[in-house]
Amino acid sequence: MIEKSYNQSLRALEKNLEKLRGLFEVGETGSIHQAARRLGVSQPTLSRSLKNLEEALGVTLLSRGTRGIKLTAAGETLHGFATRLLRESSDIERKLRVGHDSLAGRIQVGTYESIAVYFWPAFLRQLTLSHPGLMIALSTIDESRHYRMLKSDKLQLVVSVEPPADDHLFSTILYQDRFSLFSAQHAPWAQSDSVLDAPLIYVPTAVDGQGRTIQRLLEEAQVQPRCTYEVDTFEAAKALALEGIGVAVLPCKVAEKDRLAGKLAPTSLPRLPARGFGEHRICATVRRENRLEPRLRLLIREIKRSWHREVERVD
């Protein structure tokens, strides 16, 4: 009986595949009106199409409340399928145009701003030369949202620091980094004892591999700066340091290019290791069921290889 019901649902879905785009747009916009505008159809036409889809499948896909349209649990499941189907349709088009490229298609990647600035530009330049059929959609919005989007299949890969423990996710360590102190070369406290008087610039939400914040790491080392600036991103902290505003706590990779260019100077404080502190992992994370997907495995391998080349070059 269960197998018969499943086969009936599958046949019903096969006959109504064209209606999935409507469900996809409703799920994306949360509005039948907005979805209809995106599709270039009238609202009654889209409503009727979705109603027919519900009747064909024998499930309720949408719930209507005071806050508008929401997808039911069945609707969320079908929306995820529609998302993958539409993405793979686009991938097929790109594969047909470029032929043998194993990475051809669109991969949506979430990361944080600093990695997007110091790693992705050069990496993408090289990657698109060897894989012209690949299109990366790079997102740098709030990191916590990235993992929710990954679990709902709106992203296929997240490259970030210390991913959360989650049975639905699978992470590969790309490399390990640590925090250190950096100041502008022209600043009065660069490589001098006056660093004790310098304002300290840091990201309060940044953590190491054990979940300790920078503030806690400083407290454990009994470092008590006289003045601090808290900022949202490492890029902001680095920009302030480059202007001579203070000493920034940065991951070594974030500071690397400006250090090699002679713009930033590593510095230290008493009780803090000169080679850095607060080790943490940068990881590539995918949905567990996608961990063997060939394109994702190849992209992660290319990212890891590129980072290791950078480490060897600097060392």
> pLDDT class for 275, splitting at 50, 70, 90?
confident
| Domain shared by 87 and 22, yes or no | no
CATH number of the domain within which 114 lies: 3.40.190
CATH number of the domain within which 254 lies: 3.40.190.10
Backbone CA torsion sign across 250, 256, 259, 261: negative
Structure pTM? 0.71
Q: What is the pLDDT of residues 34-57, one digit of tens each?
A: 888 888 888 888 888 888 888 888
Give the number of domains in the chain.
Answer: 3
| Domain shared by 265 and 191, yes or no | yes
Mean pLDDT across the chain: 83
Average pLDDT over residues 154-160: 91
Q: Which of 21, 49, 76 is the last residue of a domain?
A: 76
Q: What is the pLDDT of residues 232-269, one digit of tens each?
A: 999 999 999 999 999 999 999 999 999 999 999 988 87
Helix axes 73-98, 20-29, angle to 10 degrees: 110
pLDDT at 147 over 60: yes
In a domain? residue 115: yes
> pLDDT class for 143, splitting at 50, 70, 90?
confident
In a domain? residue 130: yes
Q: Dump the DSSP string for 255-297.
A: HHHHHHTTSEEEE--TTS-TT-EEEEEEEEEEEGGGTT-HHHH
Cα separation, 182 vs 206, in Å, equals 16
| Domain shared by 274 and 184, yes or no | yes
Backbone CA torsion sign across 7, 9, 12, 13: negative
Q: Which of 56, 76, 96 is the last residue of a domain?
A: 76
Q: Fill in the DSSP letter of residue 42.
A: -
Place of tokens 């889209």: 46
Burial 236-258 (b: 16+ CB within 10 A, else e): bbbebbbeebbbbbbbbbbbbeb
| Domain shared by 275 and 187, yes or no | yes
Cα separation, 33 vs 23, in Å, equals 12
103 vs 213, more confident: 213
| Domain shared by 89 and 238, yes or no | no
| Domain shared by 183 and 257, yes or no | yes
Is residue 165 within 8 A of residue 285, CB to CB? The reply is: no
| Domain shared by 10 and 69, yes or no | yes
pLDDT of residue 283: 94
| Domain shared by 24 and 93, yes or no | no
Q: Which of 173-177, 268-272, 294-298 is modeled with the greatest confidence?
A: 173-177
Supply the range of the domain harboring residue 221. 175-280
Terminal-residue alpha carbon distance, the chain: 64
Cα separation, 110 vs 145, in Å, equals 9
In a domain? residue 166: no
